[in-house]
Structure 1
Amino acid sequence: MAQRILVVDDEHSIVTLLQFNLEQAGYQVITAFDGEEALEKVNHESPDLMVLDLMLPKLNGIDVCKELRQRQLTIPILMLTAKDEELDKILGLELGADDYITKPFSPREVVARVKAILRRSQNTVVEDKPKAIEIGKLMIYEEQYEAYFRGKELDLTPKEFELLLYMAKHVGRVLTREQLLNAIWNYDFVGDTRIVDVHISHLRDKMEASYIKTVRGLGYKLEGNGKRE
């Protein structure tokens, strides 16, 4: 069954362009033209991913993102932004969007990013005896797409989980922002590593901050004992 993509933009030409290219890539496309309609479509259509413009009538993209995360809905979100919406990009990421792309964009790039996000957000079938990566009080079940800290399940977005998992597989090693960007986002992000910093901040908020150490001038590392050097 084709995965369902909700495209939300008040410019009909952009919606038509994205719908054509996503359908050519094998996706089923649902459309909405304002923020309120987008929330209704999420409720009734259960899309697998949302392509969400920030500047929308009735309810803007930031408020849509905030509402979805307050409901604890983890639908992956790819934001569409204009070049001068720098603060909105960062705010959107802080509210739980998985990625952003700046207008004007290539439809092929949008499709590539949608594929990358969906590939990382797919849960694996649960086995009878799940295998865990254990790091101090942190437990990560890769095949179940679940992570626990001190026995409590962490509420992670797909990108946050992938970032934590990658760092766990390289525990104790210093990983540069560029390494993390390439490993998790899997495409050229034009050298903008702030998305890494935002997701690291989210992870620190959801578990003990001391588990992820900043190595000044280099990057980050996940430490097995949760203590800073």
Structure 2
Amino acid sequence: MEWTIGELVEQASAVLAPAGQLNGRVRDVPNERLVRWYATIGLLDPPMARRGRIALYGRRHLLQLVAVKRRQADGRSIAEIQTELTGATDRTLEAIARLPGGPGGTGPEGGASGTAVPATARPRFWAAPPPAGASGAPRPGTSPTPAAPGRPQAPALPPQPAPPPPAVPPPAVPLPAVPLPAVRLAPGVTLLLDGAGRTPSEADLAAIAAASRALVAVLRERELALPEGNNQ
């Protein structure tokens, strides 16, 4: 399925509208401007295709958009939602978004589609072990049952040789040193472009700086980067 940004907003609004107003500061349903901002800070994937100048979105974008609003309804901040949902799998998003008719109703007692698994079908790891002798082994303090008369006893197997020691792998050959381009996002935060095939242009640097503001804010909030104004 493919939707324009306006159709994506309509789909999300149809799911979220019955929940009512979230709070005084958070919109209960998204709009097109909010969708574009979510994509800028990484909460929504880029459009999956384009038809001319029209961006097209799919089911994963709907899951991401609804999941963000669900988490906001739970009182989570944008920074907390970014930490949890950026790069999340479709299964995780479905469990949070709970789209009508979708596999989002999983629970601790349910299966992948939300159907409860019968108690008899679930393994009981807390059950006591079977009593001795249930599998044919003699109970402590008793002697084994003698073999029936006239039946030959099975010959004892010879001891098996010990397995050979594992082969020692050859030492790893060190990779040649290769210089890689990097972009400094903030004091103490540097983005390493390991797969870049060229040096970033001025336009690349401007786009990276705009997209990284939210990431740098999260790192500073969690004291994983130097505070703003510290140029050490």
Classify the TM-score, shorter chain.
under 0.3
Structure number having the greater strand percentage: 1
Q: Which has the larger radius of gyration?
A: 2
Name the TM-score, length of structure 1 as normaliser.
0.25
* Structure 1 or 2: more helix by fraction: 1
TM-score (norm 2): 0.24
